Amino acid sequence: MAQSLTHGETALPADWRDLFALTKPRVMSLVVFTALCGLLAAPGEVHPVLAFSSILAIALGAGASGALNQWYEAGLDSKMKRTAGRPLPAGRLDRQTALQFGVGLAAFSLFLMLFASNWQATLLLLVSILFYVFVYTMWLKPRTPQNIVIGGAAGAFPPLIGWVAATGSIAPLPVLLFLLIFLWTPPHFWALALFVRSDYAAAGIPMMPVVAGEKSTRRQILFYAIIMAAGAIAPWALGLTGALYGWTAVILSALFVLLSIQVGTRATGDGDSMQPEKRLFAYSIAYLFILFGAVVADHWWPL
Amino acid sequence: MTDENSQEPSGQEPFDEAEYRRRQRSRANLMAWMLGGLAILFFFITIAKMQIFA
């Protein structure tokens, strides 16, 4: 790893594109969107500059978490086809640069959040970064197939932080949005884990399909999808959102459960193209985007 | 800087000074733009806070 970086005594400076790739930009887009929805769904008005700065701080915090995750998992990433092309396993960046970049970005994101928003949101951002790096990446992921279940909390923080950045306090709706992402994470990741199972097995990561087998994973995807659907409809049932969100949640969650039934009840043979699993994975991303968009739409234009 | 005439250890690529300079320049440019952007952002955050707490 990283053998191509040094030339005698001189190291090539890291290319900015590789530093950018360390932040997992695609994951960041979902983080930014859910955080923005949390902020926009909050009561009251936030100054646009402060709102922008808070979202930027959350994005940078997520980027820092991604960079520190890649720094720690560089060895594992080199064993998986899906991740072998990342800057560290591909040898385009050295680990020390990645660590410094991650820590620096994390510190800056916290400073920006504190300056633009409030200490409560800053504290939550700090907890989310520490949870992702220490609890999920270092502790849970290499040890237990429940890594995604508990670690899902790390990805569930953004809407909560967005809300707290706007209001300075926690309320039931952002807690339910936190819960929604928390419950969404297992079926989302296990659908992916089913079709990249051999990758995880090669890297020795105890993902559910590797440890408990495919059949058990499929059953658990269905189980979590049903609880997640209940969690998605809960804000409407509890009167925290209106019918626009409610019906969107009902229809989209029903489709999610239907796709999960397809995945949960089938058995695969050798050479299976895993289309239902890929479909569920792709749909789960669209599901979260649309549902969070509906939270904001419902807040702005209640039916 | 390495001596371009010196022998590289086996398995290592020859040092590419042009690539080194290109990366240095692109990072310096990016850093300048980012610092400029942050200065402007911090200015507007300060103004926004002054408006809120006025």
Helix (H, G, I), strand (E, B) or coil at A49: helix
DSSP per-residue letters across A198-222: HHHHHHT---HHHHT-HHHHHHHHH
A66-75, A144-153, B35-44: the lowest-pLDDT one = A144-153
Instruction: Say if residues A253 and A228 touch (Cβ distance below 8 Å).
Output: yes
Residue A10: which pLDDT band, with cuts at 50, 70 and 90? Answer: low
Residues of chain B positioned with their CB less than 8 A from the CB of A115: 42, 45
User: Cα distance from A191 to chain B (closest Cα, Å)?
Assistant: 38
Residues of chain A positioned with their CB less than 8 A from the CB of B41: 49, 53, 56
Nearest to B45 among A9, A12, A50 (CB): A50
Q: What is the mean pLDDT of chain A?
A: 91
Nearest to A116 among B15, B45, B47 (CB): B45
pLDDT for A102-161, tens place per residue?
Answer: 999 999 999 999 999 999 999 999 999 999 999 999 999 888 888 888 888 989 999 999
What is this model's ipTM? 0.77
Cβ–Cβ below 8 Å for B23 and A12: yes
Residues of chain A positioned with their CB less than 8 A from the CB of B16: 7, 12
Cβ–Cβ below 8 Å for A50 and B49: yes
The strand pair at A6-7 and A10-11 is best described as antiparallel
Residues of chain B positioned with their CB less than 8 A from the CB of A13: 20, 23-24, 27
Helix (H, G, I), strand (E, B) or coil at A6: strand
pLDDT for A198-244, tens place per residue?
Answer: 888 888 888 888 888 889 999 999 999 999 999 999 999 999 999 99
